[in-house]
Structure 1
Amino acid sequence: MKTWNQLFIRHGWFLTMKEENIFDYTEETEGNMQFLLQCLEKANVIYRIENGLLYVPTGTFIEKKWIAAIDYQTRGRGGDLWFDAYTDAAKVYELDTYICGIVRQLNRIGIRTFGSCDGHGRRVAHVLIRKDYNKEDLSVLLQALCPKRIYLRENRNSYQLQLPLNRSELLDFAENVSKAKESWLGQSFNVIKEQLFYSLLEELLSIPGASENEGLVKELVIEKMKPYVDHLTIDRAGNVIAEKTYRSGNGPTILLNAHLDIVQELKSGRKIIKQGNTWSSTKGILGADDRAGVAVLLHMAEYLYQNKRFNGKVKFIFTVEEECGLVGASQVDDHFLWGTDAAIVVDRHGTGDVVTSCRGYIPFCHPSYGSFFEKVASEAGLNGWATTDGGSSDTRIWAEYGIQSVNLSVGYDHEHTHQESLDVKACYRTAKLLEAVFCNNGELRKVLREIKREKRIPVIE
């Protein structure tokens, strides 16, 4: 199921969303709009046109059903006819079904194309790009936008972007390119990844989901996680759980955790206020507790998929009903936690805190595990991280299982109030700390091994 905004982007139309079901189509060509209306009618979608706006039903639509409406036997056989002679805009109905969104989004950010093929399920999809750009800059941008391996080949008069992706991944790539700006061409890989992280944050902060009503954010998390893990499901409590084994899997097993629910529902019509690095809400809560943590975990799932330095297993738990008593965490099946060496929770206000106990009375971990995070942060140039006491969170549940656990700051403040804010730069720094933690695989393994050894040594009185 996809929102209408996703469907329009993924399949090549340029419409500006005004509200969930209202779109400004004045920037789209007449031919592309005629084709869109024909497709809506073919899919039996009730719509209306009024003053440059397209009104469609609220909610989501089955993408497979939408593809059946927009596809036809001879689509994509237009040769060089797929550009409008007057506007230089691509004709949606002349482009292959699964490459159309990519072509149009590349053109939107100034990357001019002149040929494409979606592979028709038999060959590798490709896009021909005019040789007007620095190859390295173009390659960096495209690799940052596509977590899967893609290739930019240099021909005599063009670049050929080869996309060894399945059809669903091609549509996902189009959606990723839609987040890019023309100014990103020439930026570094890390700068582009940071901007994509902020886009993900904004998406998560726009989804409702108070305790017991986490359905929509669950759908998004499952959609984002599925390409990067070995196993993914919803457990009996409603938590989204997943796991992935990296390389030989001989290293430690680490649990990454954030909670899906927000303390109260988002106010209708609220907007996100962006003042530099600080985001807040025009009314009601922002919802950064703990959507910021969810963003960090989704970032890490993609990062670990691309990065080959970690050796071990990672278990992801996105819990429900944390805000009303750690309900989801307390009901995770014991067997999913078996063999877990350590846990990292991302659900702490402020910046730079590595929480190692609940108010100093309930320890979450051995002191050396907390110190490991301080050391990694310092060596990575991420200053200001220090161990401290904190409050209750899902961390307490994992610690009760004997799992070495910490809770990391993720940049939000004044949570549970209408003054809630999020330092998005600090949130991204938390993601960078986690990257550094997993890159220090050998040291992490050593620390956890020493903690286990110390526990086995008998105390002589």
Structure 2
Amino acid sequence: MTPKNNMKATQPREYSKNEFDLFNETEENIEFLIECLQKAGANFTRQHFFLTIHSEPVTEKEWLAAADFPHRGYGEGLWFHAEKEEPKIRELDLYISGLVRQLNRLELFTMGSCDGHGKRYASIIFRPGVSMDKAAKLFSIISDKKVRVRNQRLILPHSREELLELAEKALNIDGATLELETEEIEKQLFFDQLEEILNINGESGNEGKICKHAEKILAPLVDHLTFDSKGNILAQKRYRGGNGPTILLNAHLDTVLPIDPGRIIIKEKNIWTSSSGILGADDRAGVAVLLQMAKNLEKSRFSGTVKFILTVEEEIGLVGAQHVDEYFLWDVDAAVVLDRRGTGDIVVSCGTNGGSSDTRIWAAQGIQSVNLSVGYFNEHTSDEKLDVEGCYNMVKLVEAVFERARELRRALTGRDRKNCILQTNF
């Protein structure tokens, strides 16, 4: 349940942060919601079709306990109201009920589901006539794992906890979005993630919030993730057996200054600026590209190992990068740093005019390194701007590099590790 900005009431209404519109809910669903809120110990008031929650949010674990009950999911023949297209939320397996509801909201009508009960894959059966191409398209947008289509059934290789995340992601999709080309949808979702990252504070030495955000996105996509003694995020993932090069993807988490309180991001076509103070695209744009690549690699043909390093305190002297343990870099064949101004630069030297980046540290370790433009200009000033199309194009460029992994491996074979410059034809 999320606050809504519009409703079918006769009078417009301003919504507070914890006020929710129940106008389109059935009375049965409202009763179940209130029952769960009471079991979870939430403090709330209801006035007609408005619900206001006064207490702090309950944890996901507490909410699942409140929404669960013995034998939930055993009402197989009673999943839908006879006169409506809407499933009975009480009758569905706990971990898949939210996802089923979102599918029906998008008119991808279902007739059966199972969350796998932690023993097998989850599955959803769709009604005859539902476009399975459109259903599969939705999951290609919200899921980093490939689903299988069998007639009118989707097989989901997700844990029950991941099903909850899919429901949350599906909540942000509308029917019109599903009519767009997949590339346009992916681009818009990237822009949404980029905007969220730009609005998280985290100047040098105060990167806690952006660290937690990046960890939440990256952790499910990698084999291992940890924080080193300095607070850098170090992660690793082997793809398709790992029989290929080991590539480092790097960006830095800190901004040179805090984000001004109350500022808004001004969007003029593909150019974003800040209404006050820095935009923070240096290097949040690079962070967004790195996190998107972690998602995209799940579906790519790349075979090899990728190491991800998100550093802290880059803006005050590459401090975080200098404290990364050397052992984490020993097997790295090449480093791709996402922290360069402009939209077309591919810098293959250790430093650049007017400053430097973490590239300098990796090159000093003998790693062939490249620093790529991620779309920002006028960094460190109130005139900072970001070309978001250029930023997204860098996602596609890096994606293409990994798709050509065999050529990349040949380019790296036999090179002297003491040469810090990576020169390829990508």
- Give the TM-score range, shorter chain: 0.7 to 0.9
Q: 1:39 aligns with which of 36, 40, 55?
A: 36
Counterpart AA for 1:76: G
Question: Does residue 96 of structure 2 align to residue 99 of structure 1?
Answer: yes
Note if contact 1:21-1:57 (Cα within 8 Å) is conserved in structure 2.
no
Counterpart AA for 1:16: K
Question: Does residue 415 of structure 2 align to residue 419 of structure 1?
Answer: no
Q: 2:200 aligns with which of 200, 207, 223?
A: 207
Q: 2:329 aligns with which of 331, 337, 341?
A: 337
Counterpart AA for 1:330: Q
Alpha-carbon separation, structure 2, partners of 1:281 and 1:95: 45
Q: Cα 1:169–1:454, aligned 2, differ >3 Å: closer, same or farther?
A: closer
Q: Cα 1:454–1:199, aligned 2, differ >3 Å: closer, same or farther?
A: closer
Worse overlay, 236-245 or 414-423: 414-423
Residue correspondence of structure 1 range 12-161 to structure 2 within 5 A? 13-16=1-4, 21-29=17-25, 30-49=27-46, 52-57=50-55, 61-79=58-76, 81-83=78-80, 88-154=85-151, 159-161=152-154
Alpha-carbon separation, structure 1, partners of 2:53 and 2:356: 46
Note if contact 1:138-1:186 (Cα within 8 Å) is conserved in structure 2.
no
* Equivalent residue number for residue 423 of structure 2: none
Q: Cα 1:225–1:113, aligned 2, differ >3 Å: closer, same or farther?
A: same
Alpha-carbon separation, structure 1, partners of 2:418 and 2:385: 42
Question: Does residue 406 of structure 2 align to residue 442 of structure 1?
Answer: yes
Over the aligned positions, Cα root-mean-square deviation in angstroms equals: 2.8
Note if contact 2:233-2:310 (Cα within 8 Å) is conserved in structure 1.
yes
CA shift, 1:390, in A, is 5.9
CA shift, 1:19, in A, is 8.6
Q: Cα 1:91–1:272, aligned 2, differ >3 Å: closer, same or farther?
A: farther
Deviation digits for residues 199-232 of structure 1 (CA, Å, limit 9, x no counterpart): 2212222322222222222222222222221211
* Equivalent residue number for residue 378 of structure 1: none
Note if contact 2:116-2:123 (Cα within 8 Å) is conserved in structure 1.
yes
Note if contact 2:96-2:164 (Cα within 8 Å) is conserved in structure 1.
yes
Q: Cα 1:249–1:349, aligned 2, differ >3 Å: closer, same or farther?
A: same
* Equivalent residue number for residue 243 of structure 1: 236
CA shift, 1:79, in A, is 4.2
Deviation digits for residues 88-147 of structure 1 (CA, Å, limit 9, x no counterpart): 544433332111221122223332223322232234322222333443343233233222
Alpha-carbon separation, structure 2, partners of 1:303 and 1:145: 12
Note if contact 1:253-1:312 (Cα within 8 Å) is conserved in structure 2.
yes
* Equivalent residue number for residue 365 of structure 2: 401
Alpha-carbon separation, structure 2, partners of 1:23 and 1:87: 27
Counterpart AA for 2:18: I
Q: Cα 1:47–1:419, aligned 2, differ >3 Å: closer, same or farther?
A: farther
CA shift, 1:441, in A, is 1.4
CA shift, 1:242, in A, is 0.5
Worse overlay, 202-211 or 406-415: 202-211
Note if contact 2:108-2:131 (Cα within 8 Å) is conserved in structure 1.
no
Deviation digits for residues 254-303 of structure 1 (CA, Å, limit 9, x no counterpart): 11101112223333333333332222333333322222111111111122
Q: Cα 1:124–1:260, aligned 2, differ >3 Å: closer, same or farther?
A: same
Q: Cα 1:261–1:453, aligned 2, differ >3 Å: closer, same or farther?
A: closer
Q: 2:310 aligns with which of 318, 322, 325?
A: 318
Q: 1:254 aligns with which of 247, 250, 267?
A: 247
The answer for unaligned runs of 5 or more in structure 1 is 1-12, 358-362, 365-387, 456-461
CA shift, 1:48, in A, is 4.6
Q: 1:392 aligns with which of 344, 350, 356?
A: 356
Taking structure 1 as the reference length, the TM-score comes to: 0.80
Worse overlay, 110-119 or 132-141: 132-141
Note if contact 2:313-2:319 (Cα within 8 Å) is conserved in structure 1.
yes
Note if contact 1:201-1:295 (Cα within 8 Å) is conserved in structure 2.
yes
Alpha-carbon separation, structure 1, partners of 2:310 and 2:134: 36
Note if contact 2:3-2:17 (Cα within 8 Å) is conserved in structure 1.
no
Q: Cα 1:286–1:100, aligned 2, differ >3 Å: closer, same or farther?
A: farther
Alpha-carbon separation, structure 1, partners of 2:247 and 2:83: 57
Alpha-carbon separation, structure 1, partners of 2:53 and 2:219: 31
Alpha-carbon separation, structure 1, partners of 2:266 and 2:80: 39
Worse overlay, 113-122 or 346-355: 113-122
* Equivalent residue number for residue 168 of structure 2: 175
Alpha-carbon separation, structure 1, partners of 2:201 and 2:265: 13
* Equivalent residue number for residue 395 of structure 2: 431
Q: Cα 1:16–1:96, aligned 2, differ >3 Å: closer, same or farther?
A: farther
Q: Cα 1:339–1:62, aligned 2, differ >3 Å: closer, same or farther?
A: same
Alpha-carbon separation, structure 2, partners of 1:90 and 1:272: 39
Note if contact 2:202-2:258 (Cα within 8 Å) is conserved in structure 1.
yes
Note if contact 1:138-1:185 (Cα within 8 Å) is conserved in structure 2.
no
Note if contact 1:294-1:318 (Cα within 8 Å) is conserved in structure 2.
yes
Taking structure 2 as the reference length, the TM-score comes to: 0.86
Note if contact 1:356-1:389 (Cα within 8 Å) is conserved in structure 2.
no
Q: Report percent identity of matched pairs.
A: 49
Counterpart AA for 1:335: Y
Q: 1:220 aligns with which of 209, 213, 237?
A: 213
* Equivalent residue number for residue 372 of structure 1: none
CA shift, 1:85, in A, is 6.8
| Residue aligned with 1:452, SS | coil
Question: Does residue 323 of structure 2 align to residue 347 of structure 1?
Answer: no
| Residue aligned with 2:383, SS | coil
CA shift, 1:24, in A, is 2.6
Alpha-carbon separation, structure 1, partners of 2:376 and 2:126: 42
The answer for unaligned runs of 5 or more in structure 2 is 6-13, 420-426
Aligned length: 409
